[in-house]
């Protein structure tokens, strides 16, 4: 048998090399894709943007002072303590200029208005399919959050950090279910990016935060934080008592509101830290000056908010509730806290953590994550979180 010619051997060897290289490239590409999914997961917002919403939180509906629960238990269908108590309303008008006011009736209900994210990587957008926007960070020195080391800006005990995002998400307006301008205080009608912490340098530089919150020195200290246990107790109640709004510098079982930055003193629980950072970002947006003087997060409940939302620079916590969206939605039903597991020899009573919310699918700002969130964390791919913001809206529905 004739020996194979050297040129054929070389071509064959080169082909094997190319095939091996292609497989290696595929392996590397697959590994990089897996890393991307871990560091910036897709939480499939568009696939379940309506079916994953806790629609039972829409109730009760209040009209002309009458609270309508449609058969739901008052334990779950409740209005906030500061809701409007008026029956009729009058908005606008100027008799001196010959302009008649709008006269109508008072309505109030819980509405989903925004989607919030707390993520480890800057510009990581789980709600947008897990993409990471190719934009520079204004964080002045950091790229990643989650567990972080100490820097010259933070104490050695401050080791939790999350970037925060705020999307416009008004499903009632998107589906044209509530065509009343005063019942849509922001005026938004579509899903869109609203604000991102990456745009604010003081989110990563706590010392710069004194520009937006000069009072932080009065409240970010152990003496002021002695009020935290009281707020923890109040956060077990639904609705959240209005007294909690007086303790604006504490955030229930999740620490303090100050400093207004992305750092947390403890990060033993990722979802606790993410929840705290979400509320802090709302606090930040409420403080930002705007042309109308109202801030970017406003108070939408109360008799004085019927015609126009009111500024809330200290964040009215009782105006809002949160629903966990990702990685595991909070909209699943909760029936009873105890379940029975049968074995071949005996019957064991176990605690089912998904039942601890006692029928609720939303939670107060600052409510302990032991009731609603610890089991919603997933290693690696489940350490970026999203929440739907529900807020009570009192409004004037014009009749004349």
Encode pLDDT of 292-349 as tens digits: 777 899 999 999 999 999 999 999 999 999 999 988 888 764 433 333 333 444 444 4
Residue 29 lies in a domain: no
Residue 2 lies in a domain: no
Name the β-bridge partners of 301.
Answer: none
205, 140 Cβ separation under 8 angstroms: yes
Helices and strands per DSSP (H, E), number in the chain: 7, 18
Q: What is the band of 208 on the pLDDT scale with cuts at 50, 70, 90?
A: confident
Residue 1 lies in a domain: no
320, 390 Cβ separation under 8 angstroms: yes
Residue 26 lies in a domain: no
CA distance 174 to 341: 44
pLDDT, position 271: 93
Q: Kindly report the CA angle at 125 between 124 and 131, in degrees rounded to 5?
A: 80
CA distance 12 to 81: 79
**Residue the block writes with tokens 């709600």:** 127
DSSP, collapsed to helix, strand or coil, labels residue 389 as strand
Residue 199 lies in a domain: yes
pLDDT, position 355: 58
Q: Which has the closest alpha carbon to 219: 209, 234, 204?
A: 209
198, 135 Cβ separation under 8 angstroms: yes
**Residue the block writes with tokens 């152990």:** 222
What is the pTM (predicted TM-score) of this model? Answer: 0.83
Q: Which has the closest alpha carbon to 358: 330, 329, 331, 336?
A: 336
160, 267 Cβ separation under 8 angstroms: yes
Exposed / middle / buried, residue 251 (Cβ in 10 Å: 0-12, 13-18, 19+): buried
pLDDT, position 43: 87
pLDDT, position 114: 96
pLDDT, position 352: 55
Tokens of 222: 């152990």
Structural domain boundaries, residue 336? 40-398
Q: Count the neighbouring beta carbons within 10 Å of the beta carbon of residue 311.
A: 15
Q: What is the band of 382 on the pLDDT scale with cuts at 50, 70, 90?
A: confident
pLDDT, position 26: 46
CA distance 395 to 279: 24
Whether the pLDDT of residue 99 is over 60: the answer is yes
Does 220 or 334 have the greater pLDDT score? 220
Residues ≥6 apart with Cβ < 8 Å to 9: none
Average pLDDT, integer, range 187-205: 89
**Residue the block writes with tokens 């989650």:** 146
| Secondary structure letter of residue 188 according to DSSP | -
Whether the pLDDT of residue 192 is over 60: the answer is yes
Does 302 or 178 have the greater pLDDT score? 302
Q: H or E segment at 131?
A: strand 131-132
Residue 8 lies in a domain: no
Tokens of 50: 């309506």
If one counts the domains in the chain, the total is: 1
Residue 15 lies in a domain: no
pLDDT, position 330: 87
Average pLDDT, integer, range 24-45: 62
pLDDT, position 147: 55
Encode pLDDT of 116-164 as tens digits: 999 988 899 999 989 888 876 554 445 555 555 445 555 545 578 899 9
How far, in whole angstroms, is CA 331 from its chain's centroid?
Answer: 14
DSSP secondary structure of 96-120: GGTBPPEEEEEEEEEEEEEEEEEES
Tokens of 40: 């910036």
Whether the pLDDT of residue 240 is over 70: the answer is yes
Residues ≥6 apart with Cβ < 8 Å to 32: none
Tokens of 384: 């970026």
Residue 235 lies in a domain: yes
When the pLDDT of each residue in the chain is averaged and rounded to a whole number, the result is 80
Residues ≥6 apart with Cβ < 8 Å to 236: 367, 368
Q: Which has the closest alpha carbon to 316: 360, 291, 282?
A: 282
């Amino acid at each position: 048998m004739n020996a194979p010619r050297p040129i054929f051997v070389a071509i064959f060897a080169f082909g094997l090399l190319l095939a091996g290289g292609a497989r290696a490239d595929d392996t590397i590409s697959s590994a990089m894709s897996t890393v991307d999914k871990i560091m910036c997961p897709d939480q499939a917002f568009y696939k379940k943007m309506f079916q994953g919403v806790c629609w039972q939180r829409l109730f009760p509906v209040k009209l002309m002072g009458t609270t309508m629960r449609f058969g739901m238990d008052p334990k779950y269908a409740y209005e906030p303590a500061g809701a409007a108590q008026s029956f009729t309303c009058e908005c606008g008008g100027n008799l001196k200029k010959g302009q008649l006011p709008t006269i109508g009736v008072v309505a109030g209900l819980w509405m989903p208005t925004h989607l919030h994210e707390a993520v480890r990587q800057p510009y990581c957008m789980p709600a947008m399919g897990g993409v990471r926007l190719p934009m520079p960070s204004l964080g002045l020195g950091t790229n990643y959050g989650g567990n972080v080391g100490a820097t010259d800006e933070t104490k050695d005990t401050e080791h939790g950090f999350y970037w925060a995002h705020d999307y416009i998400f008004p499903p009632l307006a998107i589906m044209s279910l509530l065509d009343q301008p005063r019942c849509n205080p922001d005026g938004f009608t579509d899903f869109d990016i609203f604000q991102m912490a990456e745009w604010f340098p003081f989110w990563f530089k706590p010392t710069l935060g004194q520009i937006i919150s000069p009072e932080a020195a009065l409240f970010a200290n152990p003496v002021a934080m002695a009020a935290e246990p009281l707020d923890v107790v109040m956060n077990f109640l639904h609705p959240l008592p209005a007294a909690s709004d007086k303790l604006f510098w504490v955030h229930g079982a999740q620490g303090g509101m100050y400093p207004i930055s992305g750092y947390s003193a403890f990060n033993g629980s990722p979802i606790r830290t993410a929840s705290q950072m979400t509320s802090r970002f709302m606090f930040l947006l409420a403080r930002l000056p705007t042309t109308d003087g109202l801030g970017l997060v406003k108070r939408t409940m109360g008799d004085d908010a019927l015609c126009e939302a009111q500024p809330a620079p200290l964040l009215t916590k009782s105006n809002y509730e949160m629903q966990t969206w990702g990685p595991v939605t909070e909209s699943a039903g909760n029936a009873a806290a105890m379940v029975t597991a049968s074995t071949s020899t005996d019957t064991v009573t176990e605690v089912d953590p998904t039942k601890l919310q006692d029928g609720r699918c939303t939670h107060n700002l600052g409510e302990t994550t032991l009731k609603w969130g610890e089991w919603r964390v997933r290693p690696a791919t489940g350490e970026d979180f999203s929440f739907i913001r529900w807020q009570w809206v009192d409004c004037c529905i014009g009749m004349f």
